[in-house]
Amino acid sequence: MANRRVGGIIFFKVNGVMFNAKGSFTYNIGSPKREAVVGADAVHGFKEMPQVAYIEGAVTDSDELDLEALLSLRDATATLELANGKAIVLREAFFAGDGNVTTEEGEIEVRFEGLAGGEV
């Protein structure tokens, strides 16, 4: 369908506070990752390993943004609202990035990881 929006405008919030989302974000809802278990004779089956639920991207710095408070966030709820109408939610999330900031465009790399993630 040509009239169906699949990408574009997004909104990123942590504990209900909206940040100036910039560029492309990535996310993983934390479903188990499956890998084949291969023997010398055939594929024997598969194993499942947990994955970390995360939301990662960049936000624009501003004079209202408290960088130290952002970097120390724990037990937070992070939400990424997508252009297609979906929302990705991390619960019991914490800031897991390096805290890198670039000055040319005031860009802060953000990564939140959570104990639980999902689509709403």
pLDDT in tens, 1-25: 567 888 889 999 999 999 999 989 9
Whole-model pTM? 0.90
DSSP states along the chain: -TT---SS--EEEETTEEE-EEEEEEEE--PPEEEEEE-SSSEEEEEEE---EEEEEEEE--TT--HHHHHT--SEEEEEE-TTS-EEEEEEEEE-S---EETTTTEEEEEEEEEEEEE-
Percent of the chain with pLDDT strictly greater than 90: 92
| Total count of domains within the chain | 1
In this prediction, residue 3 carries a pLDDT of 73
User: In this structure, is residue 6 part of a structural domain?
Assistant: no
User: In this structure, is residue 50 part of a structural domain?
Assistant: yes
User: In this structure, is residue 4 part of a structural domain?
Assistant: no
User: In this structure, is residue 3 part of a structural domain?
Assistant: no
**How many whole angstroms separate alpha carbon 115 and alpha carbon 87?**
17
In this prediction, residue 115 carries a pLDDT of 96
pLDDT in tens, 45-79: 999 999 999 999 999 999 999 999 999 999 999 99
User: In this structure, is residue 69 part of a structural domain?
Assistant: yes
In this prediction, residue 4 carries a pLDDT of 83
Domain that holds residue 53: 11-119
Domain with 84 in it: what CATH number? 2.40.30
